[in-house]
């Protein structure tokens, strides 16, 4: 076979392997619950990288690609490959002398030439870890955007698709006894029609290893998963399970201890390593935004102890009311992207995330919508600590490939991973299965399947999506068939920005909502360039955005079932689609806080409204 034909064959084989493998091929176990809290070796820091727009390291006709090499080696980092008389080896790369990027972090913001780059970059990290007898080891990435192929010590562990959910592989037996190890990651943020999200989005396509990386250590048999929460709509009963993994998982005793609440229970695992429980818990102080009480929860099995801080609360709907711990609630919210506007790129850690949530609290929020994809696990724990309810979402956004089974499986896997990661977080009260998805038979089937999957995994939280609506003049009808499957009637509306250019028209819009459910407006807003001033009719000015919010709140107050909102958005964020050279320059300017941290005039309009709603619902 000639070389071009061989290259083509390798490409086809690798593509087929990727399709068959699915979004998280070769993963050894379920995602470890609360993985960052285990004993870990951080791999954060400086990683060497090689830019590879032609994917030479994956499909080089002169050597077997990673996926197809019988030894699992080949490609970029096999410096020791011997030459032959027929083809002397020519090494045209060198990781150890290549430039470096910081991990966690996106590549777009760290190197000017990578600002708009979409494609493949190879990362390499050397680390020291000498495996101990009787221990298991797991390589864990908080997120890699979008498709990742991961190798340890020259051998492939597997691949993963999805830019916002954790990636995990067991590496027990794959670490070098000497303690000298290296990991290589092929990260590719190329957009694809069949991906989740698909080609067309309205946020920056940040590439790279964007969240924490570490090696987690565990005993041979260990607590891989657990759920400790209140029973559905019952504040007096604690239910859940503990799942062990390992050869000795059956017949094991696990102690559940919540010392402050006087709760201690001994659990015994079944043949599958699982122990379930349902115990009275009448003295628990319930978690709420006003009092975000967290309990120290300890699980012990043999020499292993896993600790978590968990809050307990109930959430349900009754007619047009949302009830938190049995009390009517108004969701005073704001939408947030996983991005610090003050520092280019993805939010890098707790400091960035705490700043965003502190801004939300200052605005008067008791609720945040984490759009449009799963956010960092740290964000969810901070929301627990700070007393902010959370809408958590998967990136089923706009026009997904509804009829592609692989696309659905990808979406379902991302949803399952999100629920797995967040199920013990009291702050999460809504699982959202998508945003602004256009109605149609295939879409309805796709989305309904996601809703039912979410309910099967967790029936204690509300299920929602940003629905579609229909406008006829000033009459707005909400009759999306998907709404029948959901707990909330949520939709995005842009009266005064995309709908009509006259702010005086905004209060005249009326809503015909077909569902007797709580209404939570998932988006509204308009752009303003901070520091640009004019009158209330001057588009892009702070005064226009201020007047838009004033008129929006007048309009929305007429909706009888209005029980919350998450205007778009807390802070200006980068979006490639936003190109106006005067007002945008690559930013969506709908933020209430500018890209330099300045609060715009509309911030104070919403802050005042939320103060009044807090007095009405919370008495303060």
Q: Which of 251, 217, 396, 228 is nearest to 313 (CA)?
A: 228
pLDDT 10s digits, 579-616: 999 999 999 999 999 999 999 999 999 999 999 999 99
* Beta strand residue intervals within 68-219, DSSP E: 100-103, 120-128, 135-141, 144-145, 147-152, 155-161, 167-170, 180-188, 208-209, 213-219
> Under a CB-based contact definition with an 8 Å cutoff, are residues 110 and 101 in contact?
yes
**Partner residues linked to 280 by β-bridges:** 237
The C-alpha atoms of residue 249 and residue 221 are separated, in whole angstroms, by 6
Q: How confident is the model at residue 4 (pLDDT cuts 50, 70, 90)?
A: very low
The C-alpha atoms of residue 505 and residue 234 are separated, in whole angstroms, by 46
The C-alpha atoms of residue 246 and residue 190 are separated, in whole angstroms, by 37
Q: How many CA atoms lie within 13 A of 396 on its CB side?
A: 32
Q: Do domains 3-219 and 222-313 have the same CATH topology?
A: no
> What distance lies between CA 211 and its chain's CA centroid?
11
Q: Which two tokens stand for residue 470?
A: 């229909």
Supply the pLDDT for residue 68. 45
Supply the pLDDT for residue 502. 87
- Going from N- to C-terminal start, the domains of the chain cover 3-219, 222-313, 326-618
Supply the pLDDT for residue 15. 36
Q: Which CATH class is domain 326-618?
A: alpha beta
The mean predicted confidence, pLDDT, of the chain is 91
Supply the pLDDT for residue 17. 37
The C-alpha atoms of residue 233 and residue 459 are separated, in whole angstroms, by 10
| Helix, coil or strand: residue 387 | coil
Q: How confident is the model at residue 94 (pLDDT cuts 50, 70, 90)?
A: confident
Q: Starting from the edge strand earliest in sequence, which strands make up the sheet with 45-51, in order?
A: 100-103, 45-51, 120-128, 180-188, 147-152, 155-161
pLDDT 10s digits, 241-288: 999 999 999 999 999 999 999 999 999 999 999 999 999 998 899 999
pLDDT 10s digits, 296-326: 999 999 999 999 999 999 999 999 999 999 9
Residues 425-443: what's their mean pLDDT? 97
- Look up the CATH number of domain 3-219: 2.60.120.260
Residues 198-212: what's their mean pLDDT? 97
Tell me the C-alpha to C-alpha distance, in Å, between residue 109 and each of 68, 185, 341.
34, 19, 12
Tell me the C-alpha to C-alpha distance, in Å, between residue 479 and each of 62, 219, 514, 595, 613.
58, 53, 6, 37, 28
What letters, b where the CB count within 10 A reaches 16 and e where it falls short, cover 268-300? ebeeebebebeeebeebebbbbeebbbbebebb
Supply the pLDDT for residue 500. 82
- 585 contact partners, CB below 8 Å, separation of at least 6: 578, 579
Supply the pLDDT for residue 214. 98
The C-alpha atoms of residue 67 and residue 61 are separated, in whole angstroms, by 13
Supply the pLDDT for residue 30. 83
- 24 contact partners, CB below 8 Å, separation of at least 6: 158, 160, 161, 162, 167, 413
The C-alpha atoms of residue 579 and residue 576 are separated, in whole angstroms, by 7
Q: How confident is the model at residue 106 (pLDDT cuts 50, 70, 90)?
A: very high
Share of the chain above pLDDT 70, in %: 90
**Partner residues linked to 275 by β-bridges:** 242
The C-alpha atoms of residue 416 and residue 308 are separated, in whole angstroms, by 21
The C-alpha atoms of residue 571 and residue 602 are separated, in whole angstroms, by 12
> What distance lies between CA 530 and its chain's CA centroid?
29
Q: 39 exposed, middle or buried (CB, 10 Å; 0-12, 13-18, 19+)?
A: exposed
Contacts by residues 82-88 (CB-CB < 8 Å, ≥ 24 positions apart): 87/62
> Under a CB-based contact definition with an 8 Å cutoff, are residues 246 and 136 in contact?
yes
DSSP run (H or E) holding 345: none
Residues 162-188: what's their mean pLDDT? 97
> Under a CB-based contact definition with an 8 Å cutoff, are residues 448 and 485 in contact?
yes
Q: Which CATH class is domain 222-313?
A: mainly beta
**Partner residues linked to 159 by β-bridges:** 149
> Rg of the chain over CA atoms, in angstroms?
25
The C-alpha atoms of residue 123 and residue 98 are separated, in whole angstroms, by 10
Supply the pLDDT for residue 16. 35
Q: How many CA atoms lie within 13 A of 544 on its CB side?
A: 23
pLDDT 10s digits, 460-490: 999 999 999 999 999 999 999 999 999 999 9
Higher confidence at residue 369 or residue 5?
Answer: 369
**Look-up of token digits 């979402």:** 393
> Under a CB-based contact definition with an 8 Å cutoff, are residues 408 and 416 in contact?
no
Supply the pLDDT for residue 501. 73
The C-alpha atoms of residue 80 and residue 86 are separated, in whole angstroms, by 17
Share of the chain above pLDDT 90, in %: 86
- In terms of phi and psi (left: phi > 0; alpha: psi -120 to 50; beta: otherwise), the region of 119 is left
Supply the pLDDT for residue 201. 95
Q: How confident is the model at residue 619 (pLDDT cuts 50, 70, 90)?
A: confident
The number of beta carbons lying within 10 Å of the beta carbon of residue 45 is 12
- 618 contact partners, CB below 8 Å, separation of at least 6: 290
* Beta strand residue intervals within 189-262, DSSP E: 208-209, 213-219, 222-231, 234-245, 253-258
Q: Which of 504, 540, 527 is nearest to 590 (CA)?
A: 527
Q: How many CA atoms lie within 13 A of 435 on its CB side?
A: 24
Considering only 107-116, 141-150, 341-350, which range has the smallest mean pLDDT? 341-350
Q: 179 exposed, middle or buried (CB, 10 Å; 0-12, 13-18, 19+)?
A: exposed
Tell me the longest C-alpha to C-alpha distance in the chain.
84
Supply the pLDDT for residue 11. 36
Higher confidence at residue 63 or residue 382?
Answer: 382
**Partner residues linked to 237 by β-bridges:** 280
Q: How confident is the model at residue 60 (pLDDT cuts 50, 70, 90)?
A: low
| Helix, coil or strand: residue 20 | helix
């Amino acid at each position: 076979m000639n070389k071009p034909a061989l290259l083509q064959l390798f490409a086809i084989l690798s593509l087929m392997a990727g399709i068959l493998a699915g979004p998280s091929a070769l993963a050894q176990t379920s995602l470890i619950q609360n993985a960052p809290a285990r004993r870990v070796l951080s791999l954060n820091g400086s990683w060497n990288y090689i830019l590879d727009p032609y994917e030479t390291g994956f499909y080089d006709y002169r050597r077997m690609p990673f996926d197809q090499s019988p030894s699992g080696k080949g490609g970029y980092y096999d410096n020791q490959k011997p030459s032959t008389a027929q083809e002397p080896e020519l090494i045209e790369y060198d990781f150890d002398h290549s430039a470096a990027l910081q991990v966690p972090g996106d590549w777009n913001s760290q190197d000017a030439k990578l600002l708009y780059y979409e494609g493949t970059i190879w990362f390499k990290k050397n680390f020291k870890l000498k495996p101990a007898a009787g221990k298991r080891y797991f390589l864990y990435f908080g997120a890699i955007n979008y498709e990742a192929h991961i190798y340890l010590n020259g051998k492939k562990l597997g691949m993963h698709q999805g830019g916002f959910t954790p990636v995990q592989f067991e590496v027990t037996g794959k670490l070098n006894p000497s303690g000298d190890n290296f990991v290589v990651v092929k990260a590719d943020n190329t957009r694809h029609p069949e991906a989740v999200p698909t080609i067309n989005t309205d946020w920056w396509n940040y590439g790279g290893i964007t969240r924490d990386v570490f090696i987690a250590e565990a005993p041979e048999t260990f607590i891989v998963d657990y759920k400790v929460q209140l029973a559905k709509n019952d504040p007096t009963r604690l239910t859940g399970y503990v799942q062990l993994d390992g050869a000795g998982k059956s017949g094991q005793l696990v102690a559940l201890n919540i010392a402050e609440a006087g709760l201690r229970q001994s659990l015994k695992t079944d043949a599958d390593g699982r122990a379930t429980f349902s115990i009275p818990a009448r003295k628990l102080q319930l978690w709420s935004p006003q009092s975000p009480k967290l309990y120290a929860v300890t699980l012990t099995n043999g020499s292993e102890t896993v600790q978590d801080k968990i809050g307990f609360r109930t959430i349900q709907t009754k007619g047009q009311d949302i009830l938190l711990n049995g009390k009517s609630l108004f969701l005073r919210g704001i939408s947030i992207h996983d991005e610090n506007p003050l520092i280019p790129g993805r939010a890098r850690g707790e400091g960035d995330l705490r700043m965003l949530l502190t801004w939300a609290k200052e605005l008067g929020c008791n609720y945040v919508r984490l759009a449009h994809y799963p956010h960092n696990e740290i964000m969810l724990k901070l929301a627990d600590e700070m007393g902010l309810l959370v809408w958590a979402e998967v990136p089923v956004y706009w026009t997904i490939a509804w009829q592609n089974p692989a696309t659905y499986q990808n979406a379902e896997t991302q949803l399952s991973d999100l629920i797995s990661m967040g199920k013990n977080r009291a702050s999460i009260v809504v699982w959202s299965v998508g945003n602004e998805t256009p109605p149609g038979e295939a879409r309805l089937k796709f989305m309904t399947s996601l809703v039912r999957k979410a309910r099967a995994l967790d029936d204690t939280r509300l299920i929602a999506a940003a629905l579609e609506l229909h406008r006829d003049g000033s009459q707005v009808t909400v009759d999306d068939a998907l709404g029948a499957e959901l707990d909330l009637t949520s939709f995005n509306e842009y009266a005064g920005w995309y709908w009509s250019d006259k702010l005086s028209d905004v209060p005249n819009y009326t809503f015909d909502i077909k569902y007797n459910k709580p209404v939570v407006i998932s988006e509204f807003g308009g752009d303003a360039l901070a520091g640009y001033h004019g009158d209330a009719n001057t588009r892009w000015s702070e005064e226009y955005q201020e007047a838009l919010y004033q008129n929006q709140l007048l309009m929305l107050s007429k909706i009888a079932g209005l029980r919350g909102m998450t205007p778009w958005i807390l802070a200006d964020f980068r979006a490639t689609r936003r190109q106006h050279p005067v007002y945008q320059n690559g930013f969506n300017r709908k933020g209430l806080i500018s890209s330099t941290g300045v609060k715009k005039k509309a911030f104070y309009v919403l802050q005042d409204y939320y103060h009044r709603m807090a007095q009405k619902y919370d008495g303060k």
